[in-house]
Amino acid sequence: MAFLEINNVSKTFGKTTAVKDFNLKVEKGELVSFLGPSGCGKTTTLRMVAGFEVPSSGEIIIDGKDVTYEPPNRRPVGMVFQSYALFPNMNVAANIGFGLKIAKRSREEINQRVNEMLELIHMPGYGNRYPHQLSGGQQQRVALARALAMHPEVLLLDEPLSALDAKIRVSLRGEIRSIQRELGITTVYVTHDQEEALSISDRVVVMNNAQIEQIGPPFEIYNFPQTEFVAQFVGTLNAVNAEVVDPKAKILKFEGQQLQTAFSLDKLHSGDKVMIAIRPERLSFASQEKKANILKGKVQNITFLGAVVRIQIGIDSLNFYMDTFNNPYLALPKIGEDVEITCSAEAVLALKERKESQG
């Protein structure tokens, strides 16, 4: 049985539906992240787990116990807020020890735990500082320590890094992940940064419009998105409407060019419309030896992105992006040049229509 279960949870505020039919089981020690655009219901779901909102329907179970209607101060849940929410009138040590003090633990125990926590977040010696004397990254680490000091069974983080700059974001998310692994604490992590979600999580829950679009490990979410939304939201994508030519042979066509996919088209018939998607890094220039799955186009633009060079190729009225690794000795085509590009059949994803996935 899963450690944290969110069963059929919905939440409405007046006329807006913030979360609808949410189902998720999180195993003990697992880190699951919620990924989705602004307003899709991530925070609301998290707040229901923490107890700040009561679900309109459904139930929330932690370690076998139904906590749906438990007040927040009786849940074994630690929360880290986007805005840190450190108490400005208390120093770092008092912030970290606050929960223990409320629980009337002895002073020695509190001190010891506070020091442990300061070690854990690599900030020993900062106990006497006040929050306004810390950098944003340090504040967020203290917030993490404060949430962990009470030995919560579930840790919730709501966009903990979004107020920080890019460099610290990357290093701190690594730190959060390693602390989480070290303590083996069941964690839900909310973010709208897809790179963050992919890099930190055991599993990712992609949400849109109050609903779950797809749940899966990062690798699966990225490589095998099941819906157009997921494919578009996670990573860059070339998505086009195509027509089935031959479902048995898995041949599709668009703009008069033919393409083969490795995915089953069994349920479709010749002439059906389907959306296909190809990641830019799966495309490459066609070479002499390999002449399958060719698309003909014209180079529109070349953008240098550092490790990667992104080439924009016009195929009739459509634009395709193709990524190649940067290599100073490789000759790139000129803008306006005619090129042939190719990809393996496995790279051509046929996506479900949005409506099917809701059914």
Partner 1 sequence: MVMDAKPDSHRTTGGAPSARPPKSRINWSWLGVVPFFAFAIMFLILPSLSIFVRSFEGPEGQFTLDNIFAIFHGRDFINAYRTSLTISLITAVSGGIFGFLLAYSVILGGLPSVARSFLLTFSGVASNFAGVPLAFAFVATIGNAGLVTRIIENILNVDIHARGFTIYSIWGLSIVYMYFQFPLMVLIMAPALDGLRREWREACENLGGTELHYWRYVALPILMPTLLGTMILLFGNAFGAYATAYAFSGSFINLITIVIGAQIQGDVLYNPGLGNALALGMIVIMSLSMVGYLTLQRRAARWLR
Ligand X SMILES: Nc1ncnc2c1ncn2[C@@H]1O[C@H](COP(=O)(O)OP(=O)(O)OP(=O)(O)O)[C@@H](O)[C@H]1O
- Please say whether the beta carbons of 50 and 79 come within 8 A: yes
40 binds, among ligand X, Mg ion, partner 1, none (CB under 5 to 8 A by kind): ligand X
Nearest to 225, CA basis, from 293, 278, 284, 282: 278
Nearer to partner 1, 13 or 52 (CB): 52
Nearest to 157, CA basis, from 113, 190, 115: 190
Question: Could you give the CA distance from residue 331 to residue 77 in angstroms, rounded to a whole number?
Answer: 56
Nearer to Mg ion, 37 or 174 (CB): 37
Q: Which of 6, 20, 24, 42 binds ligand X (CB under 6 A)?
A: 42
Map residues 150-189 to x or -, x wherever contact with partner 1 holds by CB under 8 A. Answer: x---------------------------------------
Nearer to partner 1, 74 or 269 (CB): 74
Choices 41-49, 112-120, 135-143, 255-263; region in contact with ligand X by CB under 6 A: 41-49
Nearer to ligand X, 33 or 95 (CB): 33
Nearer to Mg ion, 43 or 227 (CB): 43
Nearer to ligand X, 213 or 323 (CB): 213
- What is residue 168's three-state secondary structure? helix
**Is residue 18 close enough to count as binding ligand X by CB under 6 A?**
yes
Encoded tokens for 75: 């849940």
**Is residue 79 close enough to count as binding partner 1 by CB under 8 A?**
yes
Sheet holding 318-325, edge to edge: 284-285, 338-342, 294-304, 308-315, 318-325
Tell me phi and psi for residue 154, to 5 degrees. Answer: -130, 135
73 binds, among partner 1, Mg ion, ligand X, none (CB under 5 to 8 A by kind): partner 1
Encoded tokens for 347: 């790279």
- Please say whether the beta carbons of 5 and 24 come within 8 A: yes
**Is residue 43 close enough to count as binding Mg ion by CB under 5 A?**
yes
Counting every residue written for the chain, the total comes to 359
**Is residue 132 close enough to count as binding partner 1 by CB under 8 A?**
yes
Choices 75-83, 199-207, 217-225, 292-300; region in contact with partner 1 by CB under 8 A: 75-83
**Is residue 286 close enough to count as binding ligand X by CB under 6 A?**
no
**Is residue 14 close enough to count as binding partner 1 by CB under 8 A?**
no
Tell me phi and psi for residue 175, to 5 degrees. Answer: -65, -45
Region at 271 (left for phi over 0; alpha for psi -120 to 50; beta for the rest): left
**Is residue 44 close enough to count as binding Mg ion by CB under 5 A?**
no
- Please say whether the beta carbons of 51 and 67 come within 8 A: yes
Tell me the residue ranges of DSSP E strands in 133-232.
Answer: 154-158, 186-191, 203-208, 211-216
192 binds, among Mg ion, partner 1, ligand X, none (CB under 5 to 8 A by kind): ligand X
Map residues 300-319 to x or -, x wherever contact with partner 1 holds by CB under 8 A. Answer: --------------------
Q: Which of 141, 146, 192, 279 binds partner 1 (CB under 8 A)?
A: 146
Encoded tokens for 264: 């089953």
Cβ partners under 8 Å of residue 303, min gap 6: 309, 310, 311, 312
**Is residue 192 close enough to count as binding ligand X by CB under 6 A?**
yes
Q: Which residues bind partner 1 (CB under 8 A)?
A: 50-52, 71-74, 77-79, 81, 83, 85-91, 98-99, 102-103, 130-132, 146-147, 150
Residue numbers at the binding site for Mg ion (CB under 5 A): 43
